[in-house]
Amino acid sequence: MNGKIRFAVDYLNVMFEMNARARQGIDPTAYAATLMFLVEWGLTTEEINSANNIFWEQIDRQTLEELRVVVPRITQALKDREDDKKRLLTQLAAIADFDSDITEDEANYLRSFGELLDLRPSEINALFERGSHLAFGLRYFGSQYMANNKPKQSVIRPLK
Query: Domain segments of the chain: what residues?
Result: 3-149
Q: What is the pLDDT of residues 13-40, one digit of tens each?
A: 999 988 787 767 777 888 889 999 999 9
In the three-class reduction of DSSP (H, G, I as helix; E, B as strand; rest coil), residue 138 is classed as: helix
pLDDT for 143 equals 74
Q: What is the pLDDT of residues 58-84, one digit of tens each?
A: 999 999 999 999 999 999 999 999 999
CATH number for region 3-149:
1.10.3680.10
In the three-class reduction of DSSP (H, G, I as helix; E, B as strand; rest coil), residue 42 is classed as: coil
Q: What is the pLDDT of residues 90-120, one digit of tens each?
A: 999 999 988 887 888 889 999 999 999 999 9
